[in-house]
C-alpha cells in the first residue's frame, strides 16, 4: 500500500471564472450534499468543464479529471501493479485516488470510453459507494468527499458511441447549452480580454454558425472558440482574420458550407 | 464530324483541274452559270489558288448531291456575302455540310442551311463555330432528316439562347429524347415542345444559380436560423422584363443567372437570399390588396423592403453594406416613375444619397415619422397609399408589366400580397394573372447538370404494379457524349422468379467438391474485417505492459511467467457482405470456344460454388440476376436474399434462370449498389458475373452503356463499396476492363480456375 497521497495538487486554489446561466450551481450543490453522481450534458465548448472546476473550487474539494478515450482500460482508471527495484508495487489509478482520498472524479467525454470500461464505476454510483479492486484484492470504500461526475455530449451520439442504459440511469443530469447572447458576450469579453462590443459581434457570428448545426455543421462555434477568437483579436489580429482563423476554418472542411459561413460572418460585421 | 480539308483536295484529273471541271459543270446553264462565275470570282479574289480549288470541290460535291438550283444559288450567295467573314475554306466546309444534309434530308433542307449560315455566324460570332454548327446540323440529318427544316427555321431563336456548346448539347438531348418518333422530333426542334425550350435555356454555360445553390441555402439558414428552400426560375423566352427573385409559399425563387457581369453574380445571389430571408423573417402576414393601384403596391413593396432590411441589419450590420452597394442610380436620371422608385429605394437605404426630388424627400420623411414602429408592417402600407396619392398628382406613367424592381437583387414583392379572387380591381387581377405562379413549386427545376451525388440517389418507388414484374426504381444514366446524368432515365423492375429443380446445381456442386473446399479454406483465412488490438501475443509491435508486469511479478514469486508479452493489431473477424449480380442476357446462352458449357451455366456454377462457400462460413451473400429490354425495362430478379441460407429455395430459383434480352449494366449496378449500401458490414462487395459487353436494344453507340456502367461503378466505389467483375468470356475482356478498371476484372475461363480468381479478389479486399 502506498502512503496516503496528498490531493493538494488537485485542489483548485483560484476561483475559475464561471458565469451561471441558470440554477445549475444550486442543483449541483444539492447533488453534492447527497454525493449523487452527476452527468453534465451539452455541446462541446459550452462550459461543462469550467463549471465543474468552479464547483470544486466553490466546495473546496479536490478535482481529479480523466479525459476518456477509446483505448482506456479499467486498469487505467483503477490502477495497476508496477515494478520498482524492490519488486512489484501497486499504483492507484486516478479513480481509486479520488475514491480513497475524497475528491470529485470527473470523467470528461465519458462516451469515448468503451462500454466495458465504464462499468467499473457502477458500484460507486449506487448505495454501496465502493470500488472493488480485483487485482489488488481490495474493496475500497469511498471517502466521504468522493463524488463522481461525468460529461457527455449528446450531439456525438451514434449507434456505436452511446452510454449503456444501465450506466445512464445512475446519474442525475444537468443540461448545458450556449449562454444567452448578453451572457455569452460577457463571458467572451472577460475570458478573452476584449471589449464587450467585439465580444458581442463574436457571439452574433457564433449564433449564425449554430443556425447551421445539423445543416452542414455537426455543431456550431462553441463559446471556447469565441474565447480563442477573442484572444487573437486581443493579440492585435483584425477581427475578420481572427474569425476566419479560429472559427470558419476549424469548424468545417466542406467548401460550400465554409463559403456560406464566411458570407454570413461578413453579414455580422459592420 | 470534323471533316479534314485534305480530303477535299482534288485528285489530279486528266481533263484539267477541279476549277475547270466545276466551271464546265455550270457553263451554258444561263442564270445559274452567271451566278456561279460571280461567286467563283469573289472567292478567287479572297484566297489562294488552293483555297479556290477546295471551294470548287465543295460546290461540285453539292451539285453531285442533287442539290438543285435553289441550294446552289444559296451556296453562291453565301459565298459572295460571307467571303470576308468566313473565307473560302470555311465556306467550303459549310457547303460540304450542306451537301451531306442534302443527301439525307433533301435539297430544301440544304438550301435552308446555307441561307441560315450568315445568321448563325452573326449569333455565334465566330467563323469556326459556324462551321461546327453546320457540321452538327449535318450530323443530325443522318439520324433525323425530318427534324432539319424545323430546326433551321428556328436558327435565330435557338442561337440567341445558347452558345455553340449549348447548341451541341441541346441537339444531343433532342436526339436522345425523341429517339425514333418523327412527330416528337419535329416538335422538339421547332421549339414547340416546352421541354425543348427549357432544355435550351439550360444548355449553355453552367448557370450561376446551379453553382451557388449549395452555399446559398446554408447561408440563409445561418443568417436567419431557418432553412431556406431555393428554386431556380426557368427563363421565360416571352418575358418582357428580366426575371426578379420572388417568394412563393416559403420558397425563395431565383433566376438562373442575374443580368449583368459574372463577377457580381455571387454578391447578387447573396444579397437576394439575405433580402428574401429578411422578408420571411419579418414580413409575417400578407397585405390585402384592397383598392390599391399597382403603383401603390410597388410603393408598399418598396417600403416593406426597406423595413425588413432595416430590421435585419440591426443584428447583421454587414448586410446593410452589401445591399447598399447595389444602389447605383443617380439623382440626375430622368424623372420617370421607375427611376423615381429606384431613387427612393436608394435614398432610404443610403442616408448619404442626395436627391432634390420632393418625392424622395417625402418618402424619407414618411418613414422617419414612423421609425419607432418598424416592427409593424402596417407602416409600409401607410407609406404606399400616402406617397401613391402624391405620385398620382404628378401624372407619372406607371406600367406594371414593364416594371422591374431595382436594385437587381430585390424580389418582385408579390409574395407579400394576398390577392382576393372577387373584389380586386380589374387592373390588379390582370397584373396578378400576368405573374401568376404556383404557390408551391412542385416542379423543381429539371436537373440536367450531371450532379454526381444524385447518381446513387435511390430509387423512387412507383406505385403501379404490372403482372410482369413490379417497377421498383428509376435511375439516372450517364451520357458520355454530353457529360450529363440523364435523370430517371431507366426503370428497374423486380421480376418474379420461376423455380426449377435444384438437382442440376446439386450435381454440379458435387462435381466440383474440391473447388468448394478450396474456396471455403481461402475465404476462411481471408482477413476482411475491422482491425483489432490483440493482447498477450507472442510477437507484435508494442509491449503489452500488463503482460510484462504480470510476467515480472510471477518471476519474482518464483513462478514461470507467460512470455506472450506483445500487443498486435490485426484484422480478425471477416465482416463481409457480398452481392452477386448475374448477367442473364441472351448472349449468355452462347458457348465460349472450347467450352462444354454455356456462359450461363458457367455463371450458375461459379455462383453456386461461391455462394456455397460463403454460406458454409455463415457470410452474408445475396444473388440478383439482370437483363434488359430498353431503358424502361431493366429486369432484375431476387434469386437469394442476404438473410437466406443457400437451401433448395434459392438453388431452385438459380436453376430456374433462363437467358434472354440485353445487358443494361449501369442500371443494374446502381440498383445493386442501393441494396448493398443498406447492409451493415465492414466490407461490402458487388461481384458482377458477366460475359462482357453492355448492350441494349435502344442504344446504338457501343461506348454509351459501357461508359455509363463505368460511371455507376465509380459511384459505387465512392460510396465505399467494392465492385469487381468475374468475366466468363475472353471476347469482351477489354470492355470489362474499361468498365471496372483493369485490376478489378478477373477472367475465369473454366470453373476450376474460379478459386484462383476468387483468391485474387480476396487478396485485393484484404490488401486495403
Last residue of a domain, one of A175, A204, A232: A175
The three cell numbers of residue B238 are 416571352
Considering the domain architecture, whether residues A58 and A185 belong to the same structural domain is answered as no
| B549·A212 Cβ contact <8 A | no
A114 touches chain B (CB under 8 A): no
- In the prediction, which pLDDT does B572 show? 54
Last residue of a domain, one of A147, A175, A203: A175
Chain B residues with CB under 8 Å of A260 CB are 215-219, 221-222
Instruction: Choose among A81, A204, A264: nearest Cβ to B219.
Output: A264
| B546·A257 Cβ contact <8 A | no
Q: How many domains does chain A have?
A: 2
Residue (of B264, B267, B266, B242) closest to B255 by Cα position: B242
Which of B218, B230, B575 to mutate: most A Cβ within 10 Å?
B218
| A269·B221 Cβ contact <8 A | no
The boundaries of the domain holding residue A256 are 181-268
A270 touches chain B (CB under 8 A): yes
Last residue of a domain, one of A175, A200, A229: A175
Considering the domain architecture, whether residues A134 and A103 belong to the same structural domain is answered as yes
Considering the domain architecture, whether residues A151 and A166 belong to the same structural domain is answered as yes
Considering the domain architecture, whether residues A124 and A217 belong to the same structural domain is answered as no
| Helices then strands, each counted (H, E), chain B | 28, 16
DSSP H helical segments within B4-48, as ranges? 18-26, 31-45
Residue A3 in domain: no
Q: Cα(A181)–Cα(A228) distance, rounded to whole angstroms?
A: 17
What's the DSSP call for residue A244?
I
A212 touches chain B (CB under 8 A): yes
A202 touches chain B (CB under 8 A): no
Chain A residues with CB under 8 Å of B224 CB are 211
Residues within 8 A of A (CB atoms), B 357-376 only: none
* All structural domains of chain B with their residue ranges: 5-201, 208-434, 532-572, 574-767
How far B309 CA lies from chain A's nearest CA (Å)?
A: 12
Residues 6 or more apart whose Cβ sits within 8 Å of residue A249: A258
| B270·A263 Cβ contact <8 A | yes
Which of A137, A211, A248, A269 to mutate: most B Cβ within 10 Å?
A211
| B219·A263 Cβ contact <8 A | yes
pLDDT < 50 regions, chain B: 1-14, 422-467, 768
Considering the domain architecture, whether residues A99 and A134 belong to the same structural domain is answered as yes
Strand ranges of the sheet holding A38-41, from the earlier edge strand across to the other edge: A63-67, A104-108, A147-152, A38-41, A172-175
- In the prediction, which pLDDT does B443 show? 36
How far B655 CA lies from chain A's nearest CA (Å)?
A: 40
Considering the domain architecture, whether residues A170 and A205 belong to the same structural domain is answered as no
CB atoms within 10 A of CB B295: 22
User: In whole angstroms, what separates CA A220 from the centre of its chain?
Assistant: 17
Considering the domain architecture, whether residues A31 and A13 belong to the same structural domain is answered as yes
Chain B residues with CB under 8 Å of A82 CB are 549
Backbone angles phi, psi at A269, to 5 degrees: -95, 135
What pLDDT, in 10s, does the model give residues A217-260? 778 899 999 999 999 999 999 999 999 999 999 988 878 889 99
Residues within 8 A of B (CB atoms), A 52-71 only: 71
The three cell numbers of residue B477 are 444514366
Residue A78 in domain: yes
Report ipTM (2 d.p.).
Answer: 0.80
Instruction: Tell me which of B450 and A202 has the higher pLDDT.
Output: A202
Q: Name the superfamily (CATH) of residues B574-767.
A: von Willebrand factor, type A domain (3.40.50.410)
Strand ranges of the sheet holding B566-571, from the earlier edge strand across to the other edge: B531-537, B566-571, B542-543
- In the prediction, which pLDDT does B94 show? 94
A81 touches chain B (CB under 8 A): yes
Considering the domain architecture, whether residues A161 and A224 belong to the same structural domain is answered as no
- In the prediction, which pLDDT does A262 show? 92
Which of A117, A178, A260, A268 to mutate: most B Cβ within 10 Å?
A260
How far A190 CA lies from chain B's nearest CA (Å)?
A: 22
Q: Cα(B114)–Cα(B96) distance, rounded to whole angstroms?
A: 10
Considering the domain architecture, whether residues A194 and A96 belong to the same structural domain is answered as no
Residues 6 or more apart whose Cβ sits within 8 Å of residue B524: B574, B617
> How would you classify residue A229: left for phi > 0, otherwise alpha for psi between -120 and 50, otherwise beta?
alpha
Q: Cα(B692)–Cα(B730) distance, rounded to whole angstroms?
A: 8
Tell whether omega for the bond before B407 is within 30 degrees of 0, i.e. cis: yes
Q: What is the dihedral of CA B16, B21, B22, B28, to 10 degrees?
A: 130
| A209·B222 Cβ contact <8 A | yes
| A211·B221 Cβ contact <8 A | yes
Instruction: Choose among A80, A83, A256: nearest Cβ to B215.
Output: A256
Residues 6 or more apart whose Cβ sits within 8 Å of residue A36: A147, A172
Average pLDDT across chain A, whole number: 88
- Chain position carrying cell 440554477: A23
Considering the domain architecture, whether residues A14 and A148 belong to the same structural domain is answered as yes
What pLDDT, in 10s, does the model give residues B182-216? 888 888 898 888 778 877 777 665 677 877 888 88
Residue A1 in domain: no
Q: Looking at the DSSP assignment, which residues form a beta bridge with residue A175?
A: A41
How far B726 CA lies from chain A's nearest CA (Å)?
A: 35
What pLDDT, in 10s, does the model give residues A27-80? 999 999 999 999 999 888 899 999 999 999 999 999 999 999 877 878 889 987
Q: Cα(B293)–Cα(B428) distance, rounded to whole angstroms?
A: 7
| A260·B322 Cβ contact <8 A | no
| B318·A266 Cβ contact <8 A | yes
Chain A residues with CB under 8 Å of B217 CB are 260
Q: Looking at the DSSP assignment, which residues form a beta bridge with residue A92?
A: A79
Percent of chain A at pLDDT > 90 equals 62
A181 touches chain B (CB under 8 A): no
Chain B residues with CB under 8 Å of A257 CB are 215, 218
CB atoms within 10 A of CB B21: 15
- In the prediction, which pLDDT does B453 show? 36
How far CA B173 is from CA of B142, B195, B430, B664, B708, in Å, comes to 16, 10, 37, 20, 16
B223 touches chain A (CB under 8 A): yes
| B222·A83 Cβ contact <8 A | no
Strands A63-67 and A104-108: parallel
Considering the domain architecture, whether residues A151 and A188 belong to the same structural domain is answered as no
How close are the terminal C-alpha atoms of chain A, in Å?
64
Residue A209 in domain: yes
Amino acid at each position: 500500500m502506498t502512503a496516503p497521497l496528498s490531493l493538494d495538487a488537485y485542489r483548485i486554489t483560484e476561483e475559475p471564472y464561471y458565469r451561471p446561466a441558470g440554477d445549475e450551481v444550486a442543483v449541483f450543490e444539492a447533488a453534492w450534499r447527497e454525493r449523487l453522481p452527476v452527468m453534465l450534458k451539452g455541446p462541446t465548448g459550452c462550459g461543462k468543464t469550467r463549471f465543474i472546476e468552479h464547483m470544486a473550487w466553490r466546495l473546496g474539494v479536490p478535482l481529479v479529471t480523466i479525459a476518456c478515450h477509446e483505448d482506456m482500460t479499467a486498469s487505467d482508471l483503477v490502477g495497476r501493479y508496477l515494478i520498482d527495484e524492490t519488486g512489484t508495487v501497486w499504483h492507484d489509478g486516478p479513480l481509486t485516488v479520488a475514491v480513497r482520498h475524497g475528491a470529485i472524479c470527473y470523467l470528461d467525454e465519458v462516451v469515448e470510453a468503451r462500454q466495458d470500461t465504464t462499468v467499473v464505476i457502477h458500484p460507486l454510483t449506487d448505495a454501496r459507494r465502493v470500488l472493488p479492486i480485483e487485482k489488488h484484492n481490495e474493496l475500497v470504500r469511498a471517502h466521504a468527499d468522493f463524488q463522481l461526475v461525468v460529461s457527455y455530449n449528446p450531439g456525438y451520439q451514434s449507434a456505436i458511441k452511446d452510454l449503456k442504459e444501465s450506466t445512464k440511469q445512475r446519474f442525475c443530469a444537468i443540461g448545458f447549452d450556449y449562454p444567452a447572447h448578453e451572457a455569452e458576450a460577457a463571458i467572451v469579453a472577460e475570458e478573452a480580454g476584449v471589449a464587450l462590443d467585439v465580444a458581442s459581434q463574436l457571439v452574433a457570428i457564433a449564433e449564425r454558425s449554430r443556425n447551421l448545426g445539423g445543416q452542414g455543421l455537426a455543431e456550431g462555434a462553441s463559446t471556447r472558440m469565441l474565447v480563442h477568437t477573442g484572444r487573437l483579436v486581443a493579440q492585435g489580429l483584425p477581427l475578420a482574420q481572427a474569425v476566419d482563423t479560429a472559427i470558419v476554418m476549424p469548424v468545417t472542411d466542406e467548401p460550400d458550407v465554409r463559403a456560406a459561413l464566411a458570407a454570413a460572418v461578413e453579414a455580422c460585421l459592420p | 464530324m470534323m471533316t479534314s480539308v485534305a480530303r477535299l483536295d482534288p485528285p489530279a484529273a486528266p481533263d484539267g483541274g477541279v476549277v475547270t471541271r466545276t466551271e464546265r459543270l455550270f457553263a451554258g446553264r444561263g442564270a445559274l452559270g452567271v451566278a456561279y462565275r460571280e461567286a467563283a470570282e469573289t472567292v478567287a479574289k479572297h484566297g489562294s489558288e488552293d483555297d479556290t480549288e477546295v471551294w470548287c470541290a465543295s460546290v461540285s460535291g453539292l451539285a453531285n448531291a442533287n442539290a438543285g438550283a435553289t441550294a446552289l444559288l444559296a451556296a453562291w450567295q453565301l459565298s459572295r456575302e460571307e467571303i470576308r467573314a468566313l473565307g473560302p475554306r470555311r465556306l467550303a466546309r459549310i457547303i460540304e455540310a450542306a451537301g451531306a444534309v442534302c443527301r439525307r434530308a433533301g435539297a430544301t433542307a440544304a438550301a435552308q442551311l446555307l441561307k441560315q449560315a450568315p445568321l448563325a455566324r452573326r449569333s455565334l460570332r465566330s467563323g469556326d463555330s459556324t462551321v461546327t454548327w453546320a457540321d452538327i446540323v449535318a450530323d443530325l440529318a443522318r439520324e433525323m432528316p425530318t427534324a432539319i427544316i424545323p430546326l433551321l427555321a428556328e436558327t435565330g431563336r435557338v442561337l440567341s439562347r445558347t452558345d455553340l456548346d449549348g447548341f451541341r448539347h441541346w441537339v444531343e438531348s433532342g436526339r436522345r429524347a425523341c429517339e425514333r418518333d418523327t412527330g416528337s422530333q419535329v416538335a422538339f426542334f421547332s421549339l414547340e415542345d416546352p421541354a425543348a425550350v427549357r432544355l435550351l435555356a439550360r444548355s449553355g454555360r453552367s448557370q450561376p444559380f446551379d453553382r451557388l445553390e449549395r452555399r446559398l441555402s446554408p447561408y440563409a439558414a445561418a443568417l436567419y436560423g431557418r432553412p431556406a428552400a431555393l428554386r431556380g426560375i426557368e427563363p421565360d423566352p416571352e418575358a418582357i422584363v428580366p426575371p426578379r427573385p420572388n417568394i412563393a409559399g416559403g420558397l425563395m425563387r431565383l433566376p438562373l443567372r442575374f443580368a449583368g457581369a459574372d463577377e457580381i453574380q455571387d454578391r447578387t445571389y447573396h444579397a437576394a437570399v439575405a433580402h428574401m430571408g429578411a422578408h420571411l423573417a419579418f414580413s409575417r402576414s400578407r397585405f390585402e390588396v384592397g383598392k390599391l393601384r399597382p403603383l401603390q403596391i410597388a410603393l408598399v413593396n418598396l417600403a416593406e423592403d426597406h423595413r425588413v432590411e432595416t430590421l435585419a441589419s440591426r443584428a447583421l450590420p454587414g448586410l446593410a453594406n452589401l445591399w447598399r452597394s447595389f444602389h447605383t442610380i443617380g439623382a440626375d436620371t430622368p424623372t420617370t416613375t421607375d427611376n423615381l422608385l429606384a431613387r427612393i429605394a436608394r435614398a432610404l437605404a443610403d442616408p448619404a444619397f442626395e436627391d432634390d426630388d420632393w418625392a424622395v424627400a417625402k418618402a424619407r420623411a414618411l418613414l422617419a415619422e414612423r421609425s419607432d414602429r418598424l416592427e409593424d408592417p402596417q407602416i409600409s402600407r401607410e407609406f404606399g397609399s400616402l406617397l401613391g396619392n402624391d405620385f398620382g398628382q404628378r401624372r407619372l406613367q406607371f406600367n406594371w408589366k414593364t416594371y422591374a424592381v431595382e436594385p437587381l437583387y430585390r424580389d418582385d414583392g408579390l409574395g407579400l400580397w394576398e390577392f382576393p379572387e372577387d373584389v380586386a380591381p380589374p387592373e390588379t387581377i390582370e397584373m396578378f394573372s400576368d405573374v401568376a405562379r404556383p404557390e408551391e413549386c412542385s416542379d423543381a427545376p429539371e436537373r440536367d447538370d450531371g450532379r454526381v451525388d444524385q447518381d446513387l440517389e435511390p430509387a423512387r418507388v412507383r406505385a403501379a404494379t404490372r403482372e410482369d414484374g413490379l417497377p421498383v426504381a428509376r435511375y439516372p444514366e450517364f451520357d458520355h457524349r454530353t457529360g450529363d446524368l440523364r435523370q430517371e432515365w431507366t426503370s428497374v423492375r423486380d421480376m418474379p422468379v420461376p423455380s426449377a429443380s435444384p438437382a442440376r446445381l446439386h450435381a454440379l456442386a458435387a462435381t466440383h467438391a474440391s473447388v468448394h473446399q478450396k474456396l471455403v479454406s481461402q475465404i476462411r483465412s481471408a482477413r476482411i474485417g475491422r482491425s483489432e488490438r490483440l493482447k498477450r501475443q507472442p510477437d507484435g509491435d508494442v509491449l503489452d505492459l500488463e503482460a510484462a508486469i504480470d510476467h515480472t511479478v510471477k518471476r519474482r514469486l518464483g513462478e514461470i511467467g507467460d512470455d506472450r508479452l506483445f500487443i498486435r493489431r490485426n484484422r480478425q473477424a471477416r465482416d463481409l457482405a457480398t452481392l452477386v449480380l448475374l448477367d442473364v442476357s441472351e448472349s449468355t446462352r452462347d458457348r465460349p470456344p472450347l467450352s462444354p458449357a454455356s456462359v450461363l451455366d458457367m455463371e450458375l456454377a461459379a455462383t453456386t460454388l461461391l455462394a456455397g462457400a460463403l454460406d458454409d462460413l455463415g457470410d452474408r451473400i445475396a444473388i440478383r440476376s439482370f437483363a434488359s429490354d430498353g431503358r424502361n425495362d431493366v429486369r432484375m430478379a431476387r434469386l437469394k436474399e442476404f438473410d437466406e441460407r443457400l437451401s433448395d429455395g434459392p438453388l431452385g430459383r438459380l436453376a430456374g434462370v433462363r437467358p434472354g434480352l440485353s445487358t443494361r449494366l449501369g442500371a443494374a449496378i446502381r440498383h445493386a449498389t442501393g441494396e448493398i449500401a443498406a447492409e451493415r458490414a465492414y466490407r461490402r462487395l458487388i461481384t458482377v458475373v458477366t460475359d462482357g459487353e453492355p448492350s441494349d436494344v435502344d442504344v446504338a453507340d457501343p461506348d454509351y452503356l459501357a461508359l455509363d456502367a463505368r460511371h455507376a461503378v465509380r459511384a459505387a466505389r465512392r460510396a465505399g463499396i467494392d465492385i469487381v467483375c468475374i468475366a466468363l468470356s475472353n471476347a469482351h475482356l477489354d470492355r470489362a476492363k474499361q468498365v471496372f478498371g483493369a485490376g478489378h476484372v478477373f477472367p475465369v475461363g473454366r470453373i476450376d480456375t474460379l478459386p484462383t480468381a476468387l483468391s485474387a479478389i480476396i487478396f485485393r479486399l484484404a490488401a486495403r
